[in-house]
Amino acid sequence: MSKFIAKPAFSLAGNLQIPGDKSISHRAIMLGALADGITKISGFLQGEDVLSTLKAFAAMGVKIEQNADKVTIYGVGIFGLKRPEKPIDLGNSGTSVRLISGILVAQDFDSELIGDASLSKRPMGRVIEPLSKMGALISSSNGKLPLKITGGQALNAIDYQLPVASAQVKSCILLAGLYARGRTCITEPAPTRDHTERMLRGFGQQVNSSGNSICLTGKAKLTPTQIQVPADISSAAFFMVAASIAKTADITLPAVNINPTRTGIIEILQLMGAKISLTNQAEIGGELIADIRICNSKLKGINIPEALVPLAIDEFPAIFIAAACATGETILTGAKELRVKESDRIQAMADGLEILGIKNSVLADGIKITGGELQKPSAIIQSHADHRICMAFAVASARCQHPIEIADVDNVKTSFPNFVELANAAGMVIEG
Ligand code: S3P
C-alpha cells in the first residue's frame, strides 16, 4: 500500500504555484460541454477527480482535447450529449456524481453512475430527493451508488429549501433547472461556494442571487467562453497551516482564488493568530484572486464560529493540525457534514491526532482539540484513502520532532497531484 513518510522540517520558504481549483475545473468541463461551441480552459487541475468528469463527458460524445493544464471543449449544446456505452465511473469524486446527475436526469437516454468504495458509501439521497421532485426518475438502493437514471422525463422547476448547506446539491439542482420548465429557486441554510452561479453567468445564463436564494429560468442556451482557473484555496490551505506551525516560515502562494464563499480557512487561521496577508487582489473570469503570504506564528485555540463552517468545509483536516499546534483548546461544532466526506473526517482526524499524542474529544457534529506537542507516533496514521487526511498529517511534520508515517496516500492525486513536489520545494521532507 502507498504511504508517505513525512520527516521533521522546521524552516519553510518559497513562492509556490498551487494547481487549479478543483470545483471550478469540474464546472468548466460541464458547462463547456453543454455550451454551443468551443470553450478554452487554462489552469485546469490535472487531478483524478476532474479527469473523471472530463472522461464522463468524453464518454457522452463530447470532443475534449487536453494538453497539461490547457483544455479545449467542443461543446454540443444542452441537448447534444450521447448515451454512454457503459456505466459512468466517477472514481472518488462526489462533485462529479452530484453535479452530473442533475444533467443526466434531463437527457433522453438512460444512464448509470458508479464510483469507488468511498464514493459508494456517500449519501446521494440529498440529490435524488430534489431531482425526483422535479420529475426525474432515479433508482438506487439506500440512496447510495449506483444511481440508475431513466431518461426521457420532462423536468419541472422547483422552489427548494436545501436541508444541508451543500454547494454540490445546489449546483445539481441549478444544472437540472437549465432543462426544467419554469423558474427554479433554491434557498440555502447558509452560503456555500457559488462557482456554479458565477460560471453560469460567464456562459451567458441569467442567475439571480438574493440573500440565500438563487433562481434561474430553464430552457437555457449556454454561450461558450474562455476560462482561466485560479489556484485552489483548498490545496493552498495545507501550506497556510504548514507555514503557520513551522518554526520559521515565509511562504507566498500566488494568484489563489479568494472567492468569499471559500475564505473560511483564512478567517479561522487569522482568528487563531496566524500571520496571513493578501496582496495583488484582482478578478479573473468572475472569480477573485490574490497572492497569499503566510509567516510562522504562535497560534491560539479558538471556538470556531459556525457561520464559517460551510466556507471552510474542505479545510478542517488542515485546521485540526493547526489546532493541535495551538495553545489551548479549539472547539468545532456545527460540522456534521465532515462525517460524510471522502472519509468520516472527524473520526479519521481524531484517531490520527490521538496517535500523535494530541488530546481530543469527538462530538457528534465536531471536535474539541487541546493543543500540545506532536509526539513520535506509536502507530501508522490511517488516511482511510482520503486525500485531505493524508496531506493534513503530512504537513504536521512542520512541527513534529519525529517522522510521521501515513498509509494509503494514492488519492492525493485526486486533488493535488504535485503535493509532495511542492511541499519538498518549500522545505518539507516527504517521501512517498
Ligand atoms: C464542492 C462542494 C463541497 C466540497 C467538495 C466540493 C463543490 O461539498 O466539500 O469538495 O465543488 O461543489 P458539499 O457541497 O457537499 O459540502
Domains of the chain, with CATH numbers? 3-20+230-431 (3.65.10.10), 22-228 (3.65.10.10)
Distant-in-sequence, close-in-space partners of 211: CB < 8 Å, separation ≥ 6: none
Instruction: Please tell me the distance between residue 26's alpha carbon and the centre of ligand 1 in angstroms.
Output: 11
pLDDT score recorded for residue 183? 98
Q: Which atom of ligand 1 is nearest to the CA of 99?
A: 12
Residue closest by Cα to atom 16 of ligand 1:
166
Cα of 165 vs centre of ligand 1, distance in Å, is 10
**Angle formed at CA 46 by CA 44 and CA 290, multiple of 5 degrees:** 45
| Phi-psi sector, 277: left (phi>0), alpha (psi -120 to 50), beta | beta
Block means of pLDDT (10 residues each) for the chain, 432 residues, are: 95 98 98 98 98 98 98 98 98 98 98 98 98 98 97 98 98 98 98 98 97 94 98 99 98 98 98 98 96 98 98 99 98 98 98 97 98 90 98 98 97 98 98 94
Spatial contact of 365 and 335, defined as CB atoms under 8 Å apart? yes
Please state, in angstroms and rounded to a whole number, the distance separating the CA atoms of residues 76 and 349: 43
Buried b / exposed e over 361-400, threshold 16 CB at 10 Å, is eebebbbbbbbbebeebeebbbbbbbbbbbbbbbbbbbbb
Q: Whose CA is nearest to atom 13 of ligand 1?
A: 166
**Residue 96 C-alpha to ligand 1 middle, in angstroms?**
10
Q: So what's the pLDDT on residue 376? A: 78
Looking from the CA of residue 196, the nearest atom of ligand 1 is 12
Q: How far is the CA of 410 from the centre of ligand 1 (A)?
A: 20
Pocket test residue of 261, 313, 388, 415 for ligand 1, highest count of atoms within 8 A of CB: 313
Specify the pLDDT at position 111. Answer: 98
As annotated, the active-site residues are 314
Nearest CA to ligand 1 atom 9: 314
Specify the pLDDT at position 219: 80
The tally of CA atoms less than 13 A away on the side-chain side of residue 316 is 35
Annotate 235-258 with DSSP letters as a single string: HHHHHHHHHHHSSEEEEEEEEEE-
Q: For residues 70 and 45, is the Cβ–Cβ distance under 8 A?
A: no
Question: 95 C-alpha to center of ligand 1: Å?
Answer: 6
Check residue 206 and give its pLDDT. 97
Q: Check residue 349 and give its pLDDT.
A: 98
What is the CA(377)–ligand 1 centre distance, in A?
Answer: 31
Give the pLDDT score at 415: 98
Q: Are 176 and 149 in contact (CB under 8 A)?
A: no
For residue 23, which atom of ligand 1 is closest to its CA? 11
Which residues contact ligand 1 via a Cβ below 6 A?
Answer: 23, 95, 166-168, 171, 192-193, 313-314, 337
Tell the residue nearest (CA) to atom 4 of ligand 1: 314
Sheet holding 287-295, edge to edge: 11-15, 248-257, 287-295, 275-284
Tell me what pLDDT residue 220 has: 80
**pTM, 2 dp:** 0.98
Q: Integer distance in angstroms from the first to the last C-alpha of the chain? A: 11
Q: DSSP string spanning 13-66?
A: EEE--PPBPHHHHHHHHHHHHHBSSEEEEES----HHHHHHHHHHHHTT-EEEE
Question: Which of 197, 314, 339 for a ligand 1 pocket mutation test, highest count of atoms within 8 Å of Cβ?
Answer: 314
Closest residue by Cα to residue 22 from 77, 69, 75: 69
Q: Which amino acid is at 23?
A: S
To test the pocket of ligand 1, the residue of 23, 90, 92, 95 to mutate (highest count of ligand atoms within 8 Å of its CB) is: 95
